Amino acid sequence: MNEALTAETVTITGHGGDEIEAYRAIPQGADSFGGVVVIHHMPGYDSASKEITRKFAAHGYAAVMPNLHYRDAPGASPDDAAAASRAKGGVPDDRLVGDVSGAADYLRALPGSNGKVGVIGYCSGGRQSFLAACSLQLDAAVDCYGAAVVRVPEGLPFTMKPIVSLGEHLSCPLLGLFGADDQYPTPEEVAELSSALDGFGKAHEFHTYEGAGHAFFSVDRPAYRVEAAREGWEQVWAFFGKHLAG
């Protein structure tokens, strides 16, 4: 792994034919590669999320992160754009699916693409990763502590509904990474989701880390947990290596 890559801001075609901003990272020197759509957390299309996108390219995947808040506040800071999105009830589910579909099409069209595309999301993006995998034909999906899949917590400034029933249409294997101390989702909700997927006969692999709460992957936040994040990344590399390589 030489970790050489190129990264830049690009424009992709999202939901409804909208032209939206996205961040792209591509490995250098790779003759063939799988693709990963990175779904950022609710705090937005920020520097830490771009670092995650580059991390995938360093490991040999082409990665694209669409700016889900771009329409709400073009050119605004991540915090301001996220606030504008929250004020409108958050990212609509149908728009999210359309934007991920556009990002997946973009990845498949890149020279060197092997045609396989996975999706990964963090926090609200974890829910959205599950939603995308139940709505589109993908090759692998990772849900990092996505809330509001089984139940929507009270008091959230978003318009959303539970989507566990969509698991019947899950198009690919699902990896779930959760914290034992998290309340969004709780360990009980994680168990309910796993049981539902068992009932639907859908392949999934869940890991819950002791001593970790919500957002344990976030290196720029107090919630960061080194050991849980390290083990979680090892699971991601093994999972995508199995389903996106070749």
DSSP three-state, residue 7: strand
Give me the residues of the chain with pLDDT under 70, please.
156-157
* Residues in a beta bridge with 11: 21
**Tokens in use for 167?**
């698991």
Q: What pTM, to 2 d.p., does this model score?
A: 0.97
Per-residue pLDDT at 157? 62
**Type of residue found at 29:** G
Per-residue pLDDT at 160? 85
**Type of residue found at 111:** P
pLDDT tens profile 216-233: 999 999 999 999 999 999
Question: Which residue, chain included where needed, has tokens 């329409």?
Answer: 71
**Type of residue found at 134:** C
* DSSP secondary structure string for all residues of 132-163: HHHHS--SEEEEES--SSS-PPTT-SS-----
Q: State the Cα–Cα distance between residues 127 and 221, nearest whole angstrom.
A: 20
Would you give the end-to-end CA distance of the chain in angstroms?
16
Q: Which of these CATH numbers, 3.40.50.2300, 3.40.50.720, 3.40.50.1820, 1.10.600.10, describes 5-244?
A: 3.40.50.1820
Per-residue pLDDT at 92? 95
**Tokens in use for 113?**
């693409």
Per-residue pLDDT at 89? 87
Domains of the chain: which residue ranges? 5-244
Angle between helix 124-135 and helix 93-108 axes, rounded to 10 deg:
70
Per-residue pLDDT at 107? 98
pLDDT tens profile 150-195: 999 887 667 789 999 999 999 999 999 999 999 999 999 999 999 9
DSSP three-state, residue 114: strand
Greatest CA separation for the chain: 48
Per-residue pLDDT at 195? 98
Per-residue pLDDT at 246? 75
Per-residue pLDDT at 155? 72
Q: Which of 84, 68, 164, 198 is nearest to 122 (CA)?
A: 68
Per-residue pLDDT at 131? 98
Cis ω for the linkage preceding 27 (within 30 of 0): no
Mean pLDDT of all residues belonging to the chain: 96
| Phi, psi values for residue 40, rounded to 5° | -70, 165
